Structure 1
Amino acid sequence: MSANPAAVPKIALSNVYKQFGPKKVLNGIDLDVGKGESLVVIGGSGTGKSVMLKCILGLLSPDSGSIRVDGEETTRLRSREREKILHKFGMLFQGAALFDSLTVWENVAFGLIQGERMPRGRAKEIAIAKLGAVGLTPDVGELSPAELSGGMQKRVGLARAIADEPEIIFFDEPTTGLDPIMADVINELIVQCVKDLGATAVTITHDMASARKIADRIAMIHQGRIIWTGHARDIDHSDNPYVDQFVHGRADGPIKMQVRAL
């Protein structure tokens, strides 16, 4: 459900810039995400999607601009204050990013044990419950990540993202590498988990089927700027040539891919 526009946004970026050497990656990002909203950010590779998420999380510092979470400016926080903000976030990484040396349940419970200092027994109970929420049985918790299929690894990554019942969840290319059926299963699980938690969700993806299923609202980033935002149902008639080219996967259009001759 979209947020009340009069309410303070859960996340608000204003005129955010970030560059690495001469390369400008974020070129004045303006974007609000309402409380309880599911926003999907689309755009080609290298357009700044992942850098934007890292700036929100504080893994990167923007060169200028404002990033607010629940109205609180986060770009100048000290480490202890930033840790408090980070407790609001859960993250499903591209490729699941599971620890090979830990069992599945230990992966899910990692933040609870290491971050919350929760006793292992209680953390395991929560981990098994969260695995159940993504359709995995308790015996899966005793396996190692290497014993899981790609789809199961994504489910474990999702269980870890929701283990601490975060207020905000980031999904980084959640369906990459999955077949269409498993991708749809993951999309359904994301929608259900976000709904059950009442969380705010931000997803970055190239997968338009995923975007249409997950999103309340879609934003497109191009050359480090947000060039269109709108309701998910409006994506196919945006009247924006960049959006139209990306959504329909056309080679011809205003977005020019850099291809080097062999």
Structure 2
Amino acid sequence: MTAVPPKIVLKDVHKSFGPKVVLDGIDLSIARGESVVVIGGSGTGKSVMLKCILGLLRPERGSIRIDGEEVVGIPAREREQVMRKFGMLFQGGALFDSLKVWENVAFGLIQGQRMARAKARDIAFEKLAQVGLSAASGTLFPSELSGGMQKRVALARAIATSPEIIFFDEPTTGLDPIMADVINSLIVKCVKDMGATALSITHDMASARKIADRIAMLYKGQLIWVGPAQGIETSGNPFVDQFIHGREKGPIQMELRA
């Protein structure tokens, strides 16, 4: 029987901007249905890695495979097909202020899949209910919602097309600890219910511990530690230990001073 390939595989991925090396040989394999969280400080290349997988940026070297198929440098028509597999919760939500909540959720269905508005509207309200929002909220504009409710809308939009892969970019940014935990729980539930593969980037260790099967730490363009979420406290890596406990003193600070 043919072995099922991992959902996402990055092999020796390099990306630079002029003389600045951002990704310096990234190797990462994510299994189908697995939730992987990449942690690391600001400017370490987490978002660049996501953009390379999405095809928004092209690495100078290396391979990125989705379902066993190479996606680096593929033609636009093929890229469009690959993009249908993805859902995304953007940092800050990135909702359209001029669209009602249900129209935000249905945006990918209407614009991407050319679905009839009536059908897309029904799905949008179904997804809003899935993230704990009432039907009444669907008729409002994003500005009429609290930050936590806006994040729920963004999650509903991310899952509206029933994607195979969902990216979460700093999903709890700007939320208080209780609301952040609510969003984390919703992420875990939605991903599990859909059987989706999840890749998240975050600074929030509470979020990482809750939503991840595995955690990887990106530092100076390389993944310096990858392991099970429950093993991160005993990683034995001084960089990881400093980061997850938020300590001022440690190898990361020392290198910054140098």
Fold-level similarity (TM above 0.5): yes
Which of the residues 20, 27, 30 maps onto 1:30?
27
CA shift digits 1:71-95 (9 cap, x unpaired): 0000021001000000000000000
2: CA distance between counterparts of 1:256 and 1:65?
30
Which of the residues 97, 112, 117 maps onto 2:114?
117
After TM superposition, the structure 1 = structure 2 runs for residues 13-24 of structure 1, keeping only pairs within 5 Å, are: 13-24=10-21
1: CA distance between counterparts of 2:214 and 2:4?
17
| Gap runs ≥5 in structure 2 | none
- How far off its partner does 1:256 sit? 2.3
Which of the residues 144, 149, 152 maps onto 2:149?
152
Task: Name the amino acid aligned to 1:107.
Answer: N
Which of the residues 83, 86, 89 maps onto 2:83?
86
Q: Which residue of 2 aligns with 1:3?
A: none
1: CA distance between counterparts of 2:134 and 2:209?
29
- How far off its partner does 1:257 sit? 7.4
- How far off its partner does 1:258 sit? 8.4
SS at match of 2:175: coil
Which of the residues 91, 95, 99 maps onto 2:96?
99
Structure 1 runs of 4+ aligned residues shifted over 2 Å read 256-260
Q: 1:8–1:259: structure 2 CA closer, same or farther, 3 Å change rule?
A: closer
- How far off its partner does 1:8 sit? 1.3
After TM superposition, the structure 1 = structure 2 runs for residues 1-262 of structure 1, keeping only pairs within 5 Å, are: 7-256=4-253
CA shift digits 1:184-216 (9 cap, x unpaired): 000000000000100000010000000010000
Task: Name the amino acid aligned to 1:239.
Answer: G
SS at match of 1:256: helix
Q: 1:258–1:230: structure 2 CA closer, same or farther, 3 Å change rule?
A: closer
SS at match of 2:253: coil
TM-score by structure 2 length?
A: 0.97
Cα RMSD after superposing both structures:
1.2
2: CA distance between counterparts of 1:179 and 1:257?
31
- How far off its partner does 1:160 sit? 0.2
| Gap runs ≥5 in structure 1 | 1-5
Question: Aligned pair count?
Answer: 255
SS at match of 2:232: helix
2: CA distance between counterparts of 1:150 and 1:223?
32
